[in-house]
Amino acid sequence: GENVEQHPSTLSVQEGDSAVIKCTYSDSASNYFPWYKQELGKRPQLIIDIRSNVGEKKDQRIAVTLNKTAKHFSLHITETQPEDSAVYFCAAGGTSYGKLTFGQGTILTVHP
């Protein structure tokens, strides 16, 4: 089955810096790659997603890139703010109905 590796497990940055989180996946048939943000005690929320026919997607300070050949995708957050502090999960899916395989998560801390 699909396996998703996510790095780093923790990331600490200063406010205003950029943050990058990377994921690799194993199933070349996966075609949907969402990113979720989970604040402490809250539900995971979809922040951005990308499909395999697109190489990059941006939404304000957030961008995701996908390299299908290398089977990896990354989340880029620019001009980080303290409210960006949360756990971020990458996921891969699209080959099995209703199933996403998640990475282990990255704890992002943005220091004021």
Contacting residues toward other proteins, per CB under 8 A? 31-32, 34, 36, 42-46, 49, 51, 89, 91, 93-94, 96-105
User: Closer CB to other proteins, residue 78 or residue 102?
Assistant: 102
Q: Would you say 77 or 89 has its CB closer to other proteins?
A: 89
Alpha helices in the chain (DSSP H): none
Give the integer Cα–Cα distance in Å for 25 and 109.
25
| Shortest Å distance, C-beta 74 to other proteins | 19
Closer to other proteins by CB, 25 or 89: give it.
89
Tell me the torsion sign for CA atoms 27, 33, 37, 43. negative
Residue type, 37: K
Q: Which amino acid would we find at residue 65?
A: T
Provide the minimum distance between the beta carbon of 68 and other proteins in the complex, in angstroms, as a whole number: 16
